[in-house]
Structure 1
């Protein structure tokens, strides 16, 4: 299914299914757009294809050799690539959406190269984020796919990422408006955001611990990063210079990046998507390009409410009470 124009009633129907984690979602038809998806699939069929590719690798790994895996999920443009680089700076193998890379290969009919997690090097970090091009990218649940493929639940830790939805939507429109229509991006943004309900429910159901982290915590980057690492049991790896000194990084997707990028179909490559950063830090986004109609739709689907919940959980999980005190409200009020 593709939202070529913004059909509000259809979007509301899908949103209700996502909120309720409806089993019928697995029968949702995914219609090809001829570019980012070239073959028709059902959402459940696509998930099975990805599970199959990963399980072919995982079944060759003895259970005791699976490394601890910190799996960061959120919608795209929540600061996840910079966070992945931060984990790489302290020595963890940090992977860029390995599950979604397999999914994208499956969507385009390419033989999906699977992902082989490194073993013997201690814990790993992956970011696997939702959106932006297709509904399939908004509704897949990477944690569930990893579990179904055979990754042990007791080796997984879910980190739910979030960012002020107004700032995040502005970033979506800036980065991808030349590739995807405004209406389609807006609909996908809403579904990707709501999918947190299904992702967190999967973790709770399977006994996987959950930690919340919002991009706005990086207004105090050293304090927030140290709190996150300590909470994850990685306090001994943390150094302030891993946060403040990225002078050797030419770009987050460049050769000196500490992030391990997968092979994906060329159509998904966006030049300049990840810019050079001198350090790990908060990035403010200009939101003046958003319309009142855009902001009204975020309110209609309760995205600011979900964000406030993320802020509250982040403050509680990491002991950062000031996160809630420093603009827990979305940055742009209309």
Structure 2
């Protein structure tokens, strides 16, 4: 089959490739340099994500952030699927990654690791030779390790961290991070580090923080926890008003006394309730959201940038809290 495909006219070969999935495209590309070159010419308009896991495995998938109607399903293929199917070829991991990077349009690189410094810096020379960078770094760490790792990996655009609870030692509140997107998943149950980390992340464009404050039993948030999160939210928003690059904030399982939500903005001196707004979706299109005393607008002092801050009920006394930029030409209803 490979030989017959190689001898097809280019347009016929391209037509054949348009009917097969990512798995088959990859397998054809591994057969020969000519096959790889032909596949490369046929897929150059698509965007891909290449994830390297624990310096051993890889996963290639179509990048959904470049959504188009032509992408009807999530195409993907991985080294694990190769293993299960008994597919083998005479290439090392780095040689396979180099082939994927060359053929599949220099995909976005995600590194998923349990030892971020060792894995990240061991891959850097390989990626630099190919004029590539790690786009997203996923790793697990304990709270006392986090700041050192964030500082060491500051050149990465996006970070995704699972933070395990440990004794916090001398958190540097003066630290400032400038990632395009930062995702933090906390494994602990106490609202301790969250506020300081959010203030340090105010110059990241997008911040997503999930705080599993309960484990299995959904109990109401204590009054002390609600008060602590209230004070923290006022401080975070006050810092944003003073000046921040942040355009989007998501906090899951935020402990909140709903009837006190308005008082947050009274303390800020900016009580501007929002009834409805239409926002652009990240992957195209628009959505209109209607609010009922759960959304307020804040404005930065120097730049005049406006953002909507609102909450969506999850369960008991826990809410999803979001900050997103007010749409251009937004007018109060």
TM-score by length of 1: 0.27
TM-score (norm 2): 0.27
Q: Please identify which structure carries the higher helix content.
A: 1
Q: Higher Cα Rg: structure 1 or 2?
A: 2
Q: Which has the higher contact order (CA 8 A, sep 6+)?
A: 1
